[in-house]
């Protein structure tokens, strides 16, 4: 059966949770109602990336890109576009277009992107192995099994310069080399899919949209290091990704691409899924291994590194999802091709989950070396509501807060480290003038304090103390001595903690004290929050001249702090006011001021 047209519906978690499943069904029903089941296939794909405008529907071969599609729009898409060949302009990103072949070319969001990791996301049906195979899937595995020796595979990966995308950026090839060097015997290949940074969903999307690319890479890694057993450690909060992985493993096993004697090569490799309970620290590799072994997820000292002594004491390579998704492409296109992309020390691309105060939030993939300005203003479409850019946070809770003066720094591992942040797994949160820096630091500390495993003293105790100081500062009761104490604690945490979580937990504080010290000082000395976020530092007053005495504010005030006669100016009793801001929001006459 050959279809003439394809309707691709985004099946990422964001679109699915926005009535994407109903939309998919509605489109299928519409195709059936029009008697087109033999001509038009409706495909549920992985994430197309442009989450801000989801659910996304793409029509092939015309490449028409519809945004914010609702189930009710299914009839229009099938009846108008498919049957009559007329584009549904109201669903286009640019509503003024009328051509049918309005692809992503006109959308800024896609212009500077370069897709290696996400090559199949939004293109294939992740539940169908044939679609993956049709796009050269498992060709790299075939190539290594029949044309390359294990050490050649490792050498190729090493030459490509690809570094671990999970956080620290350790050269992947080196990791493989260490494990390969260990005496033969039971070895393990583990895929770290324990993505946990707030706002980050790169790995989830990759697994949801293209699970086979990761499975293929794990088998390649297994061949390179001499492991025949793989585990995917994934958090249980990712049900869709888990389901697609399960389907993919079953299909690959059925096709003989996983399991015993793969393609008759004599190499065997099987993969099992292990579910994590969502502890952030289990993304740290030694804690992750402990968790797979059924122990409490707590980091252990390294060395010995997992590549020497890992899962159940055996040599183990742990690679992150995004790292692995690069591997088949590196093998097929060659290390040389790959190493031409990116910067001197950071090769290839990086996937970011772009979120925060930005117009186009979504999943993007850009070459290493792209600047923050390009990401935020070109791809991201700038700051929401025309507000002013204040800072960006990369690397999640372990990262730093990057001020505007670094907007033009090409982003790679080394440059980010130089400006006090880290690449991390690829969360990128954009902040505007309404964001208060001490408050943001507090948000991240709150997260790391909650997620600390509690094993080592600097992190367990230091994190809480830092959070307490930040709470004090945001309440307006902080002192300059508190800042000095915070610096001491940050330093001790950074240098004496056992694992990456503790070592980096103070980064948001250290970097923001470096670049936004004035804002801390204002909170402490002037009791002022310029972003008007810290409610204890705010005071509300009613301008008598503007107040018409409509009583709206008095009615909404939960603590009866506002008094006044009808049609007379009202007054706020600051002793009673809890600074909830409801009067400010409800006043239609801008009579309530906040300072």
Partner 1 sequence: MANMLQLEINGIPVEVPAGTNILNAAKSVQVRIPTLCHHPDLPAWAACGICVVRQAGSPKLLRACCTEVTPGMKITTHDSDIVRVRRTVLELILANHPNDCLQCPRNNNCELQKLAADFGIREIPFPTDVPSIPVDNSTPSIVLNPEKCIKCGRCVQVCQGMQDVWALEFIGRGEKTRIAPAADVTLNESPCIKCGQCTAHCPVGAIYENDETRKVWDALRDPDKHCVVQIAPAVRVAIGEAFGKDPGTLMTGETYAGLRRLGFKAVFDTNYSADVTIMEEGSEFIERFTTNGTLPLITSCCPAWTDWMEKYAPDFIDNFSSAKSPQQMLGVLSKTYYAEKMGIDPAKIYMVSIMPCTAKKYEISRSENMFSSGHQDIDVVLTTRELARMFKSSGIDFLKLASEDADNILGSYTGAGTIFGVTGGVMEAALRTAYCLITGDAQPPAINFEMTRGMKGVKEAEIDIKGTKVKIAIAHQMGNVEQVLNSIREDRKAGRKPRYDFIEVMACRGGCIGGGGQPTGATDEVRKLRTAGIYSDDEKSKLRMSHLNPDVQKLYAEFLGKPLSEKAHHLLHNHYHSKKVYAK
| Distance (Å, whole) CA 420 – CA 399 | 8
What are the C-alpha distances in Å from 517 to residues 439, 483, 489, 520, 524? 13, 10, 17, 5, 11
- Distant-in-sequence, close-in-space partners of 250: CB < 8 Å, separation ≥ 6: none
CB of 456 to partner 1, least distance (A): 5
Least separation, in Å, of the C-beta of 454 and partner 1?
Answer: 3
CB of 475 to partner 1, least distance (A): 14
Provide the token pair at 92: 């286009």
Instruction: State which residue, 94 or 484, has the beta carbon closest to partner 1.
Output: 484
Q: How far is the CB of 286 from partner 1 (least distance, A)?
A: 11
As to burial, measured by CB atoms within 10 angstroms (0-12 exposed, 13-18 middle, 19+ buried), residue 288 is buried
| Least distance CB 520 / partner 1 (angstroms) | 18
Residue 518 CB contacts under 8 Å (≥ 6 apart), including other chains: none
In the complex with partner 1, the residue whose CB is nearer, 379 or 459, is 459
When computed from its CA atoms, the radius of gyration of the chain, rounded to whole angstroms, is 27
Listed in order, strand segments (DSSP E) in 368-443 are: 389-394, 401-402, 427-432
Both tokens of 361, joined, read 């939030």
CB 498, min distance to partner 1, A: 5
Rounded to a whole number of angstroms, the minimum distance from the CB of residue 352 to partner 1 is 27
Give CA separation, 488 vs 264, 463, 467, 502, 573, in Å: 60, 12, 14, 14, 41
Closest CB to partner 1 among residues 219, 493: 493
* 498 phi, psi to nearest 5 deg: -75, -40
Q: How many CA atoms lie within 13 A of 170 on its CB side?
A: 14
User: Of 328 and 463, which CB lies nearer to partner 1 in the complex structure?
Assistant: 463
The vertex-383 CA angle with 378 and 387, nearest 5°, equals: 140
**Quick one: 347 or 455, whose CB is closer to partner 1?**
455
Closest CA to 226 of 147, 157, 314: 314
Which is closer to partner 1, CB of 39 or CB of 446?
446
Could you tell me the end-to-end alpha-carbon distance of the chain, in angstroms, rounded to an integer?
68
**Whose Cβ is closer to partner 1: residue 76's or residue 457's?**
457
Q: How many whole angstroms separate alpha carbon 269 and alpha carbon 302?
A: 27
The SS3 call for residue 395 is: coil
Beta-bridge partner residues of 392: 402, 430
Indicate the burial class of 484 (C-beta count within 10 angstroms; 0-12, 13-18, 19 or more): exposed
CB 164, min distance to partner 1, A:
18
Choice between 48 and 282, CB closer to partner 1: 282
Determine the number of helices (DSSP H) and then strands (DSSP E) in the chain.
Answer: 24, 17
Contacts of 318 by beta carbon, 8 Å cutoff, 6+ apart = 175, 190, 191, 192, 285, 288, 289, 306, 310
Minimum distance of partner 1 from residue 488's CB (angstroms):
5
Reported as type and span, the H/E element at residue 346 is none
Residue 544: both structure tokens together: 């008598």
CB of 172 to partner 1, least distance (A): 22
Residue (10 or 498) nearer to partner 1, CB: 498
* Phi, psi angles (nearest 5°) of residue 323: -55, -50
Cβ closer to partner 1: 60 or 457?
457
Which residue's structure tokens are 């050649």? 152
CA atoms of 167 and 87, how far apart (whole Å):
43
Q: Find the shortest distance in angstroms from Cβ 505 to partner 1.
A: 11
Nearest distance in Å: CB 282, partner 1: 11
Q: Nearer to partner 1 by C-beta: 45 or 452? A: 452
Measure Cα distances from 347 to 228, 426, 553 in Å: 28, 15, 57
Where does residue 434 rank: exposed (0-12), middle (13-18), buried (19+ CB within 10 A)? middle
Nearer to partner 1, 229 or 455 (CB): 455
What tokens does 353 get? 């989950």
CB of 500 to partner 1, least distance (A): 11
Of the two residues 264 and 301, which places its CB atom closer to partner 1 in the complex?
301
CA–CA separation, 408 and 393 (whole Å): 15
Give me the least distance between CB of 487 and partner 1, in Å please: 10
- Cα→Cα distances 37→5, 34, 56, 64, 387, Å: 10, 8, 21, 20, 48
Q: Closest distance between partner 1 and the C-beta of residue 255, in Å?
A: 40
Q: Which is nearer to partner 1, 161 or 500 (CB)?
A: 500
Residue 100 or residue 485: which is nearer to partner 1 going by CB?
A: 485
Which residues contact partner 1 by CB under 8 A? 279, 296, 298, 300-301, 303, 449-458, 460-465, 468, 485, 488-489, 491-492, 495-498
């Amino acid at each position: 059966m050959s279809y003439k047209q394809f309707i691709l519906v985004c099946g990422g978690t964001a679109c699915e949770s926005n009535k994407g499943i109903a939309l998919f069904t509605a489109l299928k029903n519409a195709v059936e109602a029009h008697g087109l089941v033999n001509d038009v296939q409706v495909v549920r794909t992985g994430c197309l990336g442009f989450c801000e405008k989801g659910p996304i529907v793409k029509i092939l071969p015309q490449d028409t890109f519809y945004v914010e599609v609702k189930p009710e729009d299914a009839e229009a898409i099938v009846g108008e576009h498919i049957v009559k060949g007329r584009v549904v302009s109201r669903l286009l990103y640019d509503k003024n277009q009328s051509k049918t072949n309005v692809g992503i070319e006109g959308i800024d969001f896609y212009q500077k992107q370069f897709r290696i990791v996400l090559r199949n996301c939004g293109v294939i049906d992740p539940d169908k192995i044939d679609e993956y195979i049709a796009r050269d899937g498992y060709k790299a595995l075939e190539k290594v099994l029949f044309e390359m020796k294990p050490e050649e595979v490792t050498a190729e990966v090493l030459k490509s310069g690809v570094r671990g995308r999970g956080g620290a950026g350790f050269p992947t090839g080196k990791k493989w080399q260490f494990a390969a060097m260990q005496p033969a015997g039971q070895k393990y290949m583990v895929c770290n899919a324990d993505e946990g940074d707030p706002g980050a969903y790169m790995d989830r999307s990759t697994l949801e949209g293209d699970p086979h690319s990761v499975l293929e890479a794990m088998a390649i890694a297994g061949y390179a290091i001499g492991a025949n057993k793989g585990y995917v450690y994934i958090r249980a909060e990712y049900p869709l990704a888990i389901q697609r992985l399960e389907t993919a493993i079953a299909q690959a096993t059925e096709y003989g691409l996983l399991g015993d004697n793969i393609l008759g090569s004599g190499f065997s490799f099987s993969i099992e899924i292990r579910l994590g309970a969502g502890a952030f620290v289990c993304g740290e590799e030694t804690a992750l291994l402990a968790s797979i072994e059924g122990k409490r997820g707590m980091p252990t000292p390294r060395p010995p590194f997992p590549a020497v002594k890992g899962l159940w004491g055996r040599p183990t390579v742990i690679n992150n999802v995004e790292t692995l998704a690069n591997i088949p492409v590196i093998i097929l296109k060659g290390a040389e091709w790959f190493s031409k992309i990116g910067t001197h020390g950071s090769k290839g691309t990086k996937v970011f989950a772009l979120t925060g105060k930005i117009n186009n939030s979504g999943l993007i993939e850009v070459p290493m070396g792209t600047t923050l300005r390009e990401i935020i203003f070109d791809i991201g479409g700038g700051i929401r509501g025309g507000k002013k850019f204040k800072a960006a946070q990369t690397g999640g809770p372990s990262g730093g807060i990057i001020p505007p003066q670094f907007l033009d720094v090409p982003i790679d591992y080394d440059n980010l480290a130089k400006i006090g942040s880290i690449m991390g797994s690829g969360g990128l949160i954009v902040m505007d003038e309404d964001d208060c820096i001490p408050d943001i630091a507090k948000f991240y500390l709150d997260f790391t304090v909650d997620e600390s495993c509690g094993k080592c003293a600097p992190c367990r105790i230091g994190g809480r103390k830092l959070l307490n100081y930040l709470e004090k500062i945001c309440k307006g009761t902080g002192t300059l001595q508190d800042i000095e104490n915070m610096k001491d604690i940050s330093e001790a945490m950074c240098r004496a903690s056992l694992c990456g979580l503790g070592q980096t937990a103070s980064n948001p504080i250290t970097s923001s004290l470096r670049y936004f010290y004035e804002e801390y000082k204002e909170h402490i000395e002037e009791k002022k929050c310029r972003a008007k976020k810290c409610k204890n530092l705010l005071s509300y007053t009613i301008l008598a001249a503007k107040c018409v005495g409509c009583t709206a504010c008095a009615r909404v005030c939960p603590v009866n702090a506002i008094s006044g006669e009808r049609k007379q100016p009202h007054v706020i009793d600051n002793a009673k006011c809890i600074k909830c801001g409801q009067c400010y929001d409800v006043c239609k006459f801008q009579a309530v001021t906040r300072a």
